[in-house]
Chain A
């Protein structure tokens, strides 16, 4: 990684113009993975000074600035209060406190990293990404849609809804990337389910969600069917961390356990 210049932007407009001016200019998030990039950056654009490091928690939504660190995110009472604290459970198992004091929420989203635990947990919530110049996109559309926004991600808006969440991760230690991760959120009408580190990026299991929609109490057959649909409809592949077969086995077990947990069993 080589960086020629740094722009300490004073406004979003200034940052945006710099990014549009040259493809070799890059926006900086927390910068944790910056050194691993094998590329040359002409102007690195720093938006640290733009006040995007606050969380506004209201009744309807929790509005998270893109430059909020993962540590500030996990220690915020509104985040702890959402879905029984499953976002805290997810975030606290990402490497170290010292890393999470550097890594940002925006950087964790915009990278669309396949290994991401954070995106899997967020994927079971109703999340809207806000870009400058003004553009809004759901997290799912951002991860899997055709449109690739070129603006600056400024806010991650999470609907503050009632429900119970659960996050599962398969990794040996805090410092390992997951071989597979899975999140479930039980809300009023049913369940949202997402799987990540497939090794592709987090994806919702729509067929399993549709099957469980509106079911008041889950029987063993329901859970088995949801698990079967999960692995037949969400692509799970092989890489150096795990085989597709291994991932399929783990994903089904995790879904069954997570469904039990969000139902208080």
Chain B
């Protein structure tokens, strides 16, 4: 089924099977910054922005997204590079598998004006880091968002 979606600002026309998920469509078309983890709506590693809100791309059918805006890690290079430097400083960078999805939600947190540690913790809830680097990630994200308390 023909479906037009704006990906990182560019209008793309996909011909997809009705039961294909956004995750599979994105990866098939080279947006490999989006990772496939549990593929069961749980681990958040497939997170992308849909109309600026973080969503699980493994849980959305591509054909339902006609006319919507999708942002992947490839579309937020400034957030990605700043966060990646802070991850380096804090020793939060391990296997890197969850980094793109964490950057996606940090981008959303910045947009929504999350400004305290509780807010960050809540927003990160459900994002599984396979290396369990949560504390170092939290320190880096607090620096990114300018949260000092």
Contacts of A175 in B (CB 8 A): 42, 126, 128
Residue among A4, A28, A98 having the largest count of chain B Cβ atoms under 10 Å = A98
List 11 interface pairs A-B (beta carbons < 8 Å), by A numbering.
Answer: A2-B19, A28-B61, A31-B59, A31-B64, A97-B122, A97-B123, A98-B44, A99-B59, A99-B126, A101-B53, A174-B126
Cβ-closest chain B residue relative to A40: B19
How many residues on chain A are close to B (CB under 8 Å)? 29
Contacts of A36 in B (CB 8 A): 40
Contacts of B39 in A (CB 8 A): 35
> Which residues of A (173-200) have their CB < 8 Å from a CB of B?
174-175
CA distance A8 to B122 in the complex (A): 34
6 nearest A-B residue pairs (beta carbon): A96-B126, A3-B19, A3-B18, A98-B54, A98-B47, A6-B63
Residues of A within 8 A of B (CB): 1-6, 8, 28, 30-36, 44, 46, 48, 71, 92, 95-99, 101-102, 174-175
- What is the number of contacts between chain A and chain B, taking CB atoms within 8 Å? 84
Q: Would you call B125 and A101 a contact (CB within 8 A)? A: no
Write the B36-49 contact mask toward A (1 if CB under 8 angstroms, else 0): 00011110100100
CA distance A175 to B127 in the complex (A): 10
Q: Would you call A31 and B60 a contact (CB within 8 A)? A: yes
Q: A97-B54, A98-B54 are in contact. Are A8 and B66 (CB under 8 A)?
A: yes
Q: A6-B18, A46-B64 are in contact. Are A102 and B126 (CB under 8 A)?
A: no
Residues of B within 8 A of A (CB): 1, 18-19, 21, 39-42, 44, 47, 50, 53-56, 58-61, 63-64, 66, 105, 108, 122-123, 125-128
Q: Would you call A28 and B55 a contact (CB within 8 A)? A: no
Q: Would you call B56 and A98 a contact (CB within 8 A)? A: yes
Cβ-closest chain A residue relative to B48: A98
Residue among B39, B47, B55 having the largest count of chain A Cβ atoms under 10 Å = B55
Q: A4-B18, A35-B40 are in contact. Are A101 and B55 (CB under 8 A)?
A: yes
Contacts of A44 in B (CB 8 A): 18, 61
Q: Would you call A1 and B19 a contact (CB within 8 A)? A: yes
